[in-house]
Amino acid sequence: MNLSFGRVFTRETMVNLLFVLPSLVLVGYFVYVLIGWNIVVSVSDWRGLTPSYNIVGFGQYITLFQDPVFLTSLTNNLILILLFVPSSLALGLFLAILLDSKIRGEGVFRNIYLLPFSLAFVITATLWAWMYNPDVGVINTLFQAIGLRFLKSGWITDPNIALACVVLAIVWQFSGYTMLIFSAGIKSIPESQIMAAEVDGAKGFNLYRRVVIPQLKTPALSAFVVLMIFALKVFDFIYVLTGGGPAGYSTYVLPLLMFRETFLSTHFAYGAAIATLLFLLVLVIVVPYLYLSSRREKD
């Protein structure tokens, strides 16, 4: 540090700082101060509409793991991740490979597959409520009409398969996105490599397995992170489609429980504790990812 005070705060430096100051203040307060504030709430005894900041320690977090509804929500969240993330990656990859087969109307098919991803979750949940309605909904009446009556089901009204129905619908919404990411990855592989492999006799599925898929690690990783984080904070879709039911808590997940506890039952400290836990789970995925991508950027 051999710079004098006067040189550090030159007019130029002050002007430069003014450029980013509004954003720094906004993000600093609304992201970082509020995260800290939320943690303080989570160790307080605040229940009811009047804020209370008596610090009572980490008792809320211990209560959480003794609460059957919390444990159900956590389990559902994990099941949802285990079903949704691999399915969306696999279907997206499959669609990307189909589109890569030098077909006519490639752009039209791509736009159709990606369309659901652009729509709001409130819209897609409303559409799927209509699809799954057991009495007059799209799927059951369609099965009836084409002679597949035995496939009719209670869908989201059946507690045994409601969570699977949620997963099916969000796979429908996200696989166009994973397709897009994989398509870009496939297009970036040099033509010469594909041709060399074809000369060696690799064809069709083998060509993809041996040459193309191994080179899709980077797009697969970024799609994985996006899907994981979405699956952890999934809220709008389930709130509108099932509201967490049927049979009480069959499709409850952590963000839904957080919302219910905080804004409907006014258990603010409890809701804040769930939110903090959710934030930690997201960090477990994001921090290694940011570390990896910053290293890649330097290379």
Partner 1 sequence: MRIPNPRRIFLYILLIFFAFVFLLPLWTDITTSFKSIHDIIYTIPVEPPLSPTIEPLITAFNIMERPLLNSLTFTAVATLFSCLLGSINGYALTKIRFRGANTMFLLFSIGIFLPYQAVLVPLVLTMSRLGLYNSIGGLILTHTTYGITITTLLFRNFYGLIPDSLIMAAKTDGAGTWTIYRRIILPLSLLPFVVVAVLQFTSIWNDFLFGVTLARGSEAMPASVALANLKGTTEVNWNVQMAGALWYALPVLIIYLVLGKYLIRGYMAGAIKG
Q: Which amino acid is at 129?
A: A
Contact call for residue 136 and partner 1 (CB under 8 A): yes
Taking CB under 8 A as the criterion, which residues in 53-92 touch partner 1? none
Check: CB of residue 43 under 8 Å from CB of residue 60: yes
DSSP result, 168-217: HHHHHHHHHHHHHHHHHHHHTS-HHHHHHHHHTT--HHHHIIIIIGGGGH
Q: How far is the CB of 85 from partner 1 (least distance, A)?
A: 14
Check: CB of residue 73 under 8 Å from CB of residue 249: yes
Q: How far is the CB of 146 from partner 1 (least distance, A)?
A: 10
Contact call for residue 164 and partner 1 (CB under 8 A): no
Q: Of residues 224, 230, 249, 252, which one binds partner 1 by CB under 8 A? A: 230
Q: How far is the CB of 294 from partner 1 (least distance, A)?
A: 8
Contact call for residue 148 and partner 1 (CB under 8 A): no
Contact call for residue 10 and partner 1 (CB under 8 A): no
Q: How far is the CB of 137 from partner 1 (least distance, A)?
A: 7
Q: Which amino acid is at 233?
A: K
Partners of 55 in beta bridges? 44
Contact call for residue 211 and partner 1 (CB under 8 A): no
**Of 83 and 116, CB closest to partner 1:** 116
Check: CB of residue 43 under 8 Å from CB of residue 274: no
Q: How far is the CB of 224 from partner 1 (least distance, A)?
A: 13
- Look up residue 157 and give its DSSP letter: G
**Of 22 and 68, CB closest to partner 1:** 22
Contact call for residue 34 and partner 1 (CB under 8 A): yes
78, 159, 161, 196, 217 from 251: Cα distances, Å: 12, 8, 10, 50, 32
Q: Of residues 83, 162, 186, 232, which one binds partner 1 by CB under 8 A? A: 232
Contact call for residue 185 and partner 1 (CB under 8 A): no
Contact call for residue 221 and partner 1 (CB under 8 A): no
Q: Give one word for 147, left, alpha or beta, with left for phi > 0 and alpha for psi -120 to 50.
A: left
Contact call for residue 113 and partner 1 (CB under 8 A): yes
